[in-house]
Each structure stands twice: as C-alpha cells, then as structure tokens.
Structure 1
C-alpha cells in the first residue's frame, strides 16, 4: 500500500485531519487558572464578559466527582457574580437557571413594550445610537426599524432599568449580540467604521 493510499485511509469521509486548529495545551509552569483564562480570552465562562485574572474565580463544573485527581475539564473560570449564583448547582442546571432569568426579564419588557419604548425612543430623539456613531445620522429605513437595546446585555447581568435601555436599529442590535455598548463601540472603532466628518476647506 503506497503512502498516498495510507493518508487517504486515515482521513474520514468528507473531513480531513487538519481541518480544525490544534487544541490549546497547558504549559508545564502554567497554573490551571491561567490556562483557562488564556483559553477563554479573559472572559467569564457563563456571562462572557471581559475581566482581569484577579477578578475571576476557579470553580467546579460538577461537584460530584469520585476520582482522586480531578481533571481540568471539570473546572471552569467564572466571575464573582456567576460563581456566587452557581453555588452548588451543576453546570447544566446553572445554564438553565440563567436562561430562565433572562426569559423573565424579556417577558417584563414585552408586557409593557409600548410604554417603555416610547419613553426610550423620545429620550434618544428616535435615533439609533450606533448609526449616529457609524454614519453620523440615522437612515430613514432604519428609523422605522428601531428596537430596544440593553447597553449591558441580559447575559452579562444587565437589567430592565431605563438607564440600561437605548434605541437601536434592528441590524445593529443583531450585530451587537451579547456585547455591551462600550464593547460594540470599540468594535466599530477598531474595524474602521467610526464616522469621520469632512474637514472644512478654508476660503
């Protein structure tokens, strides 16, 4: 059997070995906390918000572990709020709990959507805060598609307070995803999408 035939046998049908990047391994002198911090790019595993290493905690995914040496995949890095809320819950139970909390907050807004949206839209003069940042104005089509946006998302322990709500067009709201408004402004700035007014030519 030739080398070419052997390499084709090792590959699965429709999938090559080198399709995905290699798994990031832990270094010898690296602590478990530093390794998980590097893997998560400085984010909490549950709320996905950015933190410094000292502000994150190393906690267990599942508390029931019978073996003597606990493996790394049973540990996770989380912020202080998430670790306090999780307490003795398992990983899957805590994710379900967070989803239920988010749905409760969304239901609160959907019940009184007209009243809340009219207050927020009037405060921002029926303009999208992200369109103003990117284009310098809000296009007519996007004014008709205004939605309520959480500056600090519900995933990152945000709430339904009026100070945390802003007017955003549908397109920007989807692109923003679970990022905070500050993180999204930074993303637009870094990708070169900030509005730059033309310099006035002197006569």
Structure 2
C-alpha cells in the first residue's frame, strides 16, 4: 500500500513455492507485527492485522489530521487493515482485507481464500467473492466466476466441485457467471461494490 511502501520482498534464493505462497521477507530497518482486535500481538502463524513502523511509513494524509490519527498511532505504528500471517522465518502471507471478512453465523470467512480455491478449477479464470447481507445468518457468500473462453459450467457443477474440498458453510449461496469484471481505472482492481449492487438488485426483484 502506498502509505507504507514495500515492507516485504522476495529474495533471489527463494524457492518458487515460497515466492508464490508468501509476500516475501521483512525488509531491513522496518518493524512489523500482527495483532488481534485489541492491538495485542498474536502468536506466529496466527492470522491478525498487520501493523508497520519505520522509515517507509508516510508522515500523514495531506490536510487530514483525523484520518492520519486513525491510520497511524501516536507510537508510530501504522494499522494497515490487512489480515496477515507472520511466520517464524520472517516471511508472511496475506489473508485478505479486514473489512472484506464475511461473517456468517459467527464464522469468519476470508474472500481471498475462497477465490484462490475456485481458481484451482481448470475452467475458471478468475473468481471474486464477497458477502451479501442476510437477516438470518448475517452474511451469505456470493461468487462471480469468469470462465475460460468457450467453456460452459453450471451452478451445480460449481457446488459439486466444492463438495468434500471446502467446509459446507463456505460453499457460496449465490453463484454467478460473468464475461468481464468492471475494474477501477487507477489500480485495475475489480469493483466488487458493483457486483454487490447487481446481486442485491436480483434478490430484491425476486422478492
């Protein structure tokens, strides 16, 4: 993220597996820690929010002291909002954004984990997962899938692919197919808010 610059980097001697499975090793002269919701450090290998402190952290948002205080604590720790797992060897894995966590009947589900699972399917090029508000369970899971050109699969095919591979509560209730995702012009990120608006409109129309 631009507010803290690069904090982890891969090394030339890293294996292909380590390069793919992690975001790299902590850079010199920066401090990082992974904490719980109370700001207490969690054990190595346990998911939590990544905090960063060091020369790479910005001084603040221009003319916005309130937002700066929300992001950077008085002791210099910047709260990234990223869900991370920090390993004993200094390498780390990103789980997803804290604000994107789907909470279904008390279970915390990280969209990135479900997206990565779907992208192991030979006919799926890209998956985008997010939560849809639900009065009974809190949030239901929705996935939009972009398939390989010329391929056709059904919702039932997707459900069958999930069985015995992921927990039943992680199988999306809403499964949609799309040709192309709408992306932001600046970063190229998929605009999930548009996908959410589409599914909410469908749900409303069905009722």
- Looking at secondary structure, tell me which structure has more helix per residue: 1
Give the number of the structure whose residues are more often strand, by fraction.
Answer: 2
Q: Which is higher, the Rg of structure 1 or of structure 2?
A: 1
Q: With structure 2 as the length reference, what TM-score do the two structures score?
A: 0.24
